[in-house]
Amino acid sequence: MMFKFLYPSHLFSFLNKGISIISAIIIPFLFLSLIFALLISPQDYIQGDTVRIMYVHVPAAWMTLMCFGMISFLCILTFLFKTKNTILLYKSIAPIGLSLSLIAIITGSLWGEPTWGTYWVWDARLTSMLVLMFFYLIFIFSYKFISNQNLSLKVCTGISVIGLINLFIIKYSVNIWPTLHQTESIKIIGRTTVDSSMLLPLSMMLLVFFLYCALIFLMKYKSEVIRIKKKGLKKI
């Protein structure tokens, strides 16, 4: 019972409040962030206005990595401690991560064409991001189409652990196999090479993406809880 707080019956009372709060602030903050990203932030001295794709591409890429990391953690948690109530959590996160990976790949291609002269190259970073999208697809298919819950959990855990390795490949690929994709410009430890005039709107857009993901997660989780309650199930 150490994870009792994760049971739908305990979380359900917080869902409506969370959805209401995020819904109230996300739209005005989105408009404010877009003003900074599209109007106030300067052009890049080489890329011009094309650099503004960064304000969608980078947050989407970061958030899809975070989503898969959370999925891996939840799968391992469920597998080790048999906390089956956490299954709803990773089922609610996976579709969000998939959509974000698709956004990251599409915006990266759109950014690459004027920058590199091509929409796609089999660059280490691009290829590993594409692999991540397929990990999401296989993961979702596994829990949707494997009816045996124990087998589904084992398969999902295996996929998430292997996919976790891919996250490290994505993270360090530009340093190990430097090709067309630029190396890291923003570092938690070390010197960040992005100017503050661009870093501020980028941070704001990252917060917008985070709020959006949180909103969709809460709505998805709520719908799953309602579905289970309608079926009269006491446990997942």
**Per the structure block, which two tokens stand in for 21?**
């709060």
pLDDT at position 2 = 47
pLDDT at position 129 = 94
Give backbone dihedrals phi and psi of 200, rounded to 5 degrees, phi first.
Answer: -65, -55
Asked if 207 contacts 11 with a C-beta cutoff of 8 angstroms, the reply is: no
Sign of CA dihedral 76, 77, 82, 86: negative
Does the domain at 14-41+51-230 match CATH 1.20.120? Answer given as: yes
* CA within 13 Å, CB half, 219: 13
pTM for the model stands at: 0.88
pLDDT at position 93 = 96
> Which residues of the chain fall below pLDDT 50?
1-2, 234-236
